[in-house]
Amino acid sequence: MPLSAVDPARYGELLSEKSARVIAMLAPYSPPAPSVYPSVPTGFRMRAEFRMWHEGDALDFVMFRREDRTTPVPIDQFPIGCERIQQLMPELKQSLRGNPALRRKLFQVEFLSTLAGDTLVTLIYHRKLDEEWQTAAAALAMKLQVSIVGRSRKQKLVIGETYVREILTVQDRDYRYNQYEQAFTQPNALVNTAMLTWACERSAELSGDLLELYCGNGNFTLPLSRHFDNVIATELSKTSVRAARENLAANEIANVEIIRLSAEEVTQAINGEREFRRLGELPRPLSQYKLRTLFVDPPRAGLDTQGVAMAARFPAILYISCNPQTLAQNLAVLCQSHRIEHFALFDQFPYTDHMECGVLLLHKTLPE
């Protein structure tokens, strides 16, 4: 997104236009009128990354326009960044500019922050990092009160932690999360909280056990667990599985099992096509769970053909989508067996064409 598109004075108008486009796109599937959850107009991004541009003594955070990947655009103001990132950017740049040990062959900088006030900075280099770098980075981390991760080819050095601590309040309960560096987290924490609350409100209408695909670090898993007897949550990324298990333990949640399987493997297991040793970690066989609800928050490609067919077997489907186009493709199949009971729009990415959607689908055999 070009920062020139950021126009807080027109935010409401832009959101209305974007919402209308998504509503029109999904109209063939007869959803009810959506609940629309706006973002704050500025200061909403909890993560950001910039290339570093060296020009003589000057050092700048830069980005590149989509139509021109060769001409750097210096970033002096970053109004969409959260307050902590905006505060850190000039302080960090000044510290890097005057320190050869930290500046030399610095290629990229990444910020990861939280509503809880924890921040991590990743510095990526085109050179091997040495003891001099570690000493300088430790002094910088203390000065800025952040964790620092230094990365170069086949090298990772950590000053502090490799994660930030987040606290999100959902339905009057605080949930604590470890969010790891370079692992996926929702970029707009306030809108993410709205998504979690909406999903929990919809889940209060459901019963039995929950199967969750693409659980990540347990972002949805933790608050959803209050509304189901048991939860089986699956994720392929080792880092995310570790984070999810840590987060469950930190929140003293005991009715969730995290299994490291891909969505495709879960589909094969549900269909009885393959047996997976990791399912042996469950307290009882998969067939003995009352899996009445499926929760999915898939990547932009949506559910594949086999995943949609498997989803259609569930009485209830809670679907969070980051891509209305692929959601529409999946709904073309799912709405043959299900109806859309609830519909929501979440503006995770203001001033862009991207819109996060939520739908609760109930099987047509269930009463209205």
CA–CA dist 317, 298 (Å, integer): 13
Q: What are phi and psi of 261, to 5 degrees?
A: -140, 150
Answer for the pair 44, 82: CB distance below 8 angstroms, yes or no. yes
Last residue of a domain, one of 113, 129, 164: 164
Clarify whether residues 355 and 229 are in a common domain.
yes
Clarify whether residues 238 and 315 are in a common domain.
yes
Q: What confidence category does residue 368 fall into, taking pLDDT thresholds of 50, 70 and 90?
A: low
Clarify whether residues 267 and 194 are in a common domain.
yes
- Residues paired with 271 in a beta bridge: none
**Is 88 buried (19+), middle (13-18) or exposed (0-12) by CB count in 10 A?**
buried
Clarify whether residues 319 and 226 are in a common domain.
yes
Clarify whether residues 244 and 160 are in a common domain.
no
Q: What is the pLDDT of residues 101-149, one digit of tens each?
A: 999 999 999 999 999 999 999 999 999 999 999 999 999 999 999 999 9
Report whether pLDDT(229) > 80: yes
CA–CA dist 347, 50 (Å, integer): 23
What string of H, E and C letters represents the secondary structure of 278-313?
HHHHCCCCHHHCCEEEEEECCCCCCCCHHHHHHHCC
Clarify whether residues 37 and 75 are in a common domain.
no
Q: What is the pLDDT of residues 50-75, one digit of tens each?
A: 999 998 889 999 998 877 778 889 99
Clarify whether residues 80 and 210 are in a common domain.
no
Domain that holds residue 324: 3-41+186-363
With respect to residue 288, please indicate whether it lies within any of the assigned structural domains. Answer: yes
Q: What is the pLDDT of residues 230-240, one digit of tens each?
A: 999 999 999 99
Clarify whether residues 136 and 238 are in a common domain.
no
Give the domain CATH number at 97. Answer: 2.40.50.1070
pLDDT mean over 354-362: 97
pLDDT mean over 302-317: 94
Q: What are phi and psi of 27, to 5 degrees?
A: -55, -35
Q: Which of 181, 265, 356, 357 is catalytic?
A: 356
322 counts as catalytic: yes
Count of structural domains within the chain: 2
Answer for the pair 146, 160: CB distance below 8 angstroms, yes or no. yes
Report whether pLDDT(366) > 80: no
Clarify whether residues 330 and 228 are in a common domain.
yes
With respect to residue 171, please indicate whether it lies within any of the assigned structural domains. Answer: no
Q: Which of 322, 335, 341, 357 is catalytic?
A: 322
The length of the chain is: 368
Clarify whether residues 158 and 58 are in a common domain.
yes
Clarify whether residues 160 and 201 are in a common domain.
no
Helix/strand/coil for 149: strand
With respect to residue 170, please indicate whether it lies within any of the assigned structural domains. Answer: no
Clarify whether residues 221 and 74 are in a common domain.
no
Give the domain CATH number at 275. Answer: 3.40.50.150
- Residues paired with 179 in a beta bridge: 164
357 counts as catalytic: no
